[in-house]
Amino acid sequence: MKAIAQDRYGSPDVLELREFDQPVPAGKDVLVRVHAVSINARDWHLMRGDPYLARLAFGVRRPKVKILGTDFAGRVEAVGPDVKRLRPGDEVFGEADAAFAEYVSAPEDVLDTKPADLTFEQAAALPLAANTALIGLRDVAQVRAGQRVLINGASGGVGTFAVQMAKAYGAEVTGVCSARNADLVESLGADRVIDYAKEDFTRDGQRYDLVFDLVGNRSLTEFRRALTPTGTVILSGGGVSEGGSLIGPMGLIMRGQALAPFVRHKLGQLMAKPSGENLAELRKLVECGKLVPVIDRTYGSLSEVPEAIRYMEVEHVRAKVVVTV
């Protein structure tokens, strides 16, 4: 099979389309013939080995996982002997290592049936980003109807899902994004949209029950200034400005952990993990019309993954970038 691989850290130039042996599913693993994949910031970090602290997990000198990629959608090709729910021919979506390939082997419990009304490209846009939004809003913040929620980075991959989910939970939603993306964020259900170039949401006097940060470009002091007395700020590690290339977004998260015992506000750290149960919840939100994947650009072949990642690095991407395999 063909797959996008790397032997060293660096720019998209280090990525190559190569031949690999097709995986053989064992135990509870499912072999999926990949039809589409999506690009995430995680792929960029793995490709570059950035921040350097993350290389303790990624591989100190070179990547431990040769094949890049996380999000995918496709058809089940074969299943291991212990698989219970899925059968060959089923259309599925999920997230697992080594997804930028013609075939990927993934545990059954990180997969779910593809929403029937979505294309493979739309389904591939869901897993990591939508799961991150779901965990942040439902599990960490426990958003309730009537609460005021601000999403910093509302037009990005996670942000576009977070706006829709917060509205589905009955919250009053304010989205922060660039002027060119304001119409998009408003169309997703935001009650108010702030152009970050013209207005500082930490100084306009408004207070929120939740600030969901997906950018990492503000200090904890600024975030807390925008909260109600019992409000919550969720730090997702979206940016690198706080810690640079050494520790990256972990700088803001580590500072939040250190301050948490001494402040009245709740400082939530978001650690999203693959979950088939969460994918099933996302599928239900899609099927009832409360969640729609937004795609900025689609590339037409696996060989274009490096260019797709380059586009994500250089451009101010709206929502998701996907690749048809």
Q: Does some domain include residue 62? A: yes
Question: Do both 137 and 116 map to the same domain?
Answer: no
> What pLDDT is stored for residue 241 in this prediction?
44
> What pLDDT is stored for residue 46 in this prediction?
87
> What pLDDT is stored for residue 61 in this prediction?
77
| Under 8 Å between Cβ of 226 and 217 | no
Question: Do both 61 and 120 map to the same domain?
Answer: yes
> What pLDDT is stored for residue 254 in this prediction?
56
Output the domain CATH number for residue 11: 3.90.180.10
Output the domain CATH number for residue 216: 3.40.50.720
Percentage of the chain beyond pLDDT 90 is 76
Question: Do both 80 and 212 map to the same domain?
Answer: no
Question: Do both 117 and 176 map to the same domain?
Answer: no
Question: Do both 181 and 210 map to the same domain?
Answer: yes
Residue 316 has pLDDT above 90, yes or no: no
pLDDT tens column, 15-73 = 999 999 999 999 999 999 999 999 998 898 889 887 666 666 767 778 888 999 999 99
The rounded distance, in Å, linking the Cα atoms of 272 and 97 is 15
The strand pair at 266-269 and 227-235 is best described as parallel
| pLDDT-wise least confident of 54-63, 80-89, 260-269 | 260-269
> 51: cis peptide before it, omega within 30°?
yes
| pLDDT-wise least confident of 40-54, 114-128, 291-305 | 40-54
Q: Does some domain include residue 43? A: yes
pLDDT tens column, 171-203 = 999 999 999 999 999 999 999 999 999 999 999
Question: Do both 91 and 134 map to the same domain?
Answer: no
Of 127, 71, 122, nearest to 101 (Cα)?
Answer: 71
> What pLDDT is stored for residue 258 in this prediction?
56
pLDDT range class, residue 5, cuts 50, 70, 90: very high
Look at the chain and report how many structural domains it folds into.
2
The strand pair at 111-113 and 172-177 is best described as unpaired
| Under 8 Å between Cβ of 175 and 302 | no
| Under 8 Å between Cβ of 201 and 149 | no
The strand pair at 148-152 and 172-177 is best described as parallel
